Amino acid sequence: MGRSRRTIPEELLLLALDPATGTTAQPQSLDLGLAGAQLVELALAGRIAPDGDRIAVVMPRPTGDPTLDSALELLRRRGSPVRAVHWIGGPRLGLRQTYLSHLERCGMVHAVAGQMCGVLPTTRYQATETAISREIRSRLDSAIRTGVPPDPRTAALAALAHAVGLGKHLYPGNEGRSSRSRLRDLIRHDPMGGLVAHAVMDVQNGVAAQPRRSAAPAGPTGPGGRQPARAVADPDRIPMQPRRGPMARAVAH
C-alpha cells in the first residue's frame, strides 16, 4: 500500500488535535478509535473483512505500512475471526504516540516541549500542514451539509469521529447540534465503519465482555421474581445490520 494518501487513523488524529493548544480531544476514547480506524483501513486495503460482528483476515499480505502491518499480523495470529469489540478493547499501549511520531516525521505536526505545574515534562503536538487538516474537515462538512452519501473513507472517518466523541469538538454548542446529529447519521454509509464505530462505543459503555442478546428472558429469573435489569437504550446509537453468511469482504497531553 503506497503512502500517497493519509490513512484513516492519521486523519482521525489530525481531526482530534486542537490547533490552539496542541492537545488531543477525547484522549481516552481516541485511543480506541485509532485501533478501530486501523481495522477500517485494513478493510479498505482488502486485507480483512467483517463476518457478522467479527473481523477475519482474508489476505495476509503486508500493506507496506508498518503500523497497519503489525495489526494485521496480530489478527492473522489469532487464527480465527475475532470480535471487533475484543480487538478494540484490547491493550493498545503507545498507539496514539506512534501515530503522533509518524505525523511529526512526515512534517504534518511538530512537537512542543513544556512542563505541567512547572515540574512534569509534557509534549504537545501542533499541526504544521494546516491545509491538510482543513481539507479533512472540509470533507466532513460537505457530507454533513449536502446530505450526499460520502465516499467510504469519509463515511468511516465520520463514524469514528462520532464514536470517540469528537462531535462536540468539531461542532460545539447548541449551534452545532444539528451538525453533530448528521455526523452520527453518516455511520449508515459504510458497513465496516459502522461495525467498528459501534464496537468502539460498546467498549466505552462496558458491554464488550459478552455478545449482544436480542431480548431479555420473558419470565422472572432473579431473587424475589425480579427480572434482570435491561440496558438503557443509547439515543445516539444507530441500528446496524451486521453482514452474515460468507465473508463478503498511540500519548499526547
pLDDT tens digits along 162-191: 999 999 999 999 999 999 999 999 888 888
The per-residue b/e assignment along 155-172, b for 16 or more CB within 10 angstroms, e otherwise, is bbbbbbbbbbbbbebbbe
Single-letter code of the amino acid located at 38? Q
Between 129 and 82, whose confidence is greater? 82
* Residue 231 pLDDT exceeds 50: no
Distance CA 199, CA 123 (A): 30
Among 116-120, 214-218, 228-232, 246-250, the range of highest mean pLDDT:
116-120
* Residue 34 pLDDT exceeds 50: yes
* Residue 213 pLDDT exceeds 50: no
Within 13 Å, how many C-alpha atoms sit on residue 230's CB side?
11
Q: Considering the entire predicted model, what is its pTM?
A: 0.77
| Spacing of C-alpha 220 from chain mean position | 38
Residue 110: CB atoms within 10 A of its CB come to 13
Beta-strand pair 48-51/109-116: unpaired
Given strand 54-57, what is the order of strands in its sheet?
A: 48-51, 54-57, 82-83
**Among candidates 151, 149, 143, which has minimal Cα distance to 179?**
143
| pLDDT of 198 | 94
The three cell numbers of residue 88 are 478494540
* Residue 75 pLDDT exceeds 70: yes
**For all residues of the chain together, what is the average pLDDT?**
80
| pLDDT of 118 | 67
